[in-house]
Amino acid sequence: MGTQAPSPPEDYVHNGTQTSKDKAIDDWLPITSSRNAKWWYSAFHNVTAMVGAGVLSLPFAMGPGIAVLVLSWIITLYTLWQMVEMHEMVPGKRFDRYHELGQHAFGDKLGLWIVVPQQLVVEVGVDIVYMVTGGKSLKKFHDTVCPDCKQIKTTYFIMIFASVHFVLSQLPNFNSISGVSLAAAVMSLSYSTIAWGASVDKGKQEGVAYGYKASTTAGTVFNFFSALGEVAFAYAGHNVVLEIQATIPSTPEKPSKGPMWKGVIVAYIVVALCYFPVALVGYWAFGNGVDDNILLTLSKPRWLIAMANMMVVIHVIGSYQIYAMPVFDMIETVLVKKLRFPPGLTLRLIARSLYVAFTMFVAITFPFFGGLLGFFGGFAFAPTTYFLPCIMWLAIYKPKRFSLSWFANWICIILGVLLMVIAPIGGLRQIIMQAKTYKFYS
């Protein structure tokens, strides 16, 4: 029985004594291969990652949602700042991936187990949702442009949408998708503006009701829980923030956190410009009668709604790639470092195509993934966005008890844990309520 040489500890690889073979692998892996990004790359990557098509469901989540939306904006900006700060808190070392920071905070084994499953649920979950959204928006575009055409199943539109990703997913790293990402960021601003602009144009509807939609107290409470899940989903960019920051060059004099933070601030201003008008104006115009996608409530003018749906498609193409990149990085790291596959084009082609095929298959099978999202969303979004950064901050920096930083982090942790417990309950109820009308492979 041959004895296997022990693999070097993680930090051995990063602190300068890296072997040429490891360096070659790092130069090939998608997250660490290219480090020449500009600060504005971080701005549009973050916009693309955060302003999901989820923005269109915000009016539906309103009512008590306004306070939650604003509070979430503040909390997530704070936790995002912490992550940007922690990226290079150890001199001469960069935490290029969320789980590397987790390993520093909780230890090598535990860090992986805490971070990786949650990060994967978020990233793969978001990609599946975007497959569904992309397919449905394509269908809506087709049906709006050509109302008299033969009806085509959503399944086929999801396949058409997926076909784009079989090509795009071959782009090697974050910097190579910056063009796609920029287009996506521009689109998100555009369709958000169309959504609230068309709502203003339609004006306040006759007999609009702002009360709670459900007739029972229980129904109201559950709907609120579910809305919390939707709001949490609206802020999911933390799962890719360290990976985006890893693409920015860094020196001791000019650390990457400067340009990164600049990009984040710009992104958050854009997020506010997208989220708040859509949520408020959409709710003002349609009250509790608004659909869970406001573009469905707005049916005229036809050309405008068709255009907005096409913009959603382009945006979701970019978002899919942003969330897929860290997943590709994980898959390729395991294949090359653990299973010793030779890095190269063939490996990438097979591994990434299988991933796209998998997300497409799940999306086609469960086109009602939105309800599932509220369910999974709470489990994984709340930790990675609302409280994991705070726990790491407390573990690493150990701020003084009862200091401002200590209080701020504990408040975020408590609110995040509440969200993690509450949101899945609402999501689960929504799944059960809609289960009667579900069609597989519709």
pLDDT of residue 276: 87
CA nearest 132: which of 327, 320, 308? 320
The first and second tokens of residue 139, run together, are 């269908």
- Rounded to whole angstroms, the Cα distance separating 311 from 237 reads 20
Tell me the percentage of the chain whose pLDDT exceeds 90: 40
Cβ-in-10-Å burial (0-12, 13-18, 19+) of 74 comes to exposed
H helix intervals, 51-89 = 65-86
For Cα atoms 140, 165, 175, give the angle at the middle one, nearest 5 degrees: 120
Per the omega criterion (within 30 degrees of 0), is the bond before 301 cis? yes
Highest mean pLDDT among 32-46, 57-71, 397-411: 397-411
For 324-360, b/e burial (b = at least 16 CB within 10 A) is bbbbbbbbbbebbbeeeeebeeebbeebbeebbeebb
Q: What is the pLDDT of residues 299-311, one digit of tens each?
A: 667 888 889 889 9
Using the predicted structure, report yes or no on whether residue 82 has a pLDDT greater than 70: yes
Q: What value does the mean pLDDT take over residues 428-440?
A: 73
H helix intervals, 108-240 = 108-145, 154-168, 178-202, 217-233
pLDDT of residue 294: 74
Q: What value does the mean pLDDT take over residues 121-143?
A: 90
Give the three-class secondary structure for 376.
Answer: helix
pLDDT of residue 9: 39
More confident residue, 233 or 191: 191
Query: What's the pTM value of the predicted model, to 2 decimals?
Result: 0.86
- Rounded to whole angstroms, the Cα distance separating 380 from 12 reads 31
Instruction: Give the homologous superfamily in CATH for domain 34-437.
Output: Amino acid/polyamine transporter I (1.20.1740.10)
Using the predicted structure, report yes or no on whether residue 79 has a pLDDT greater than 80: yes
More confident residue, 414 or 129: 414
pLDDT of residue 20: 84
Q: What is the pLDDT of residues 246-268, one digit of tens each?
A: 999 988 888 999 999 999 999 99
If you count DSSP H runs as helices and E runs as strands, how many of each does the chain have, helices first? 17, 0
- Please, are residues 278 and 196 in contact by the beta-carbon 8 Å criterion? yes
| DSSP class of 344 | S
Torsion over CA: 161, 167, 173, 175 (sign):
negative
Q: What value does the mean pLDDT take over residues 387-403?
A: 93
Using the predicted structure, report yes or no on whether residue 1 has a pLDDT greater than 60: no
**Domain residue spans in the chain?**
34-437
- Rounded to whole angstroms, the Cα distance separating 432 from 359 reads 23
Using the predicted structure, report yes or no on whether residue 149 has a pLDDT greater than 70: yes
Least confident of 143-147, 224-228, 308-312: 224-228
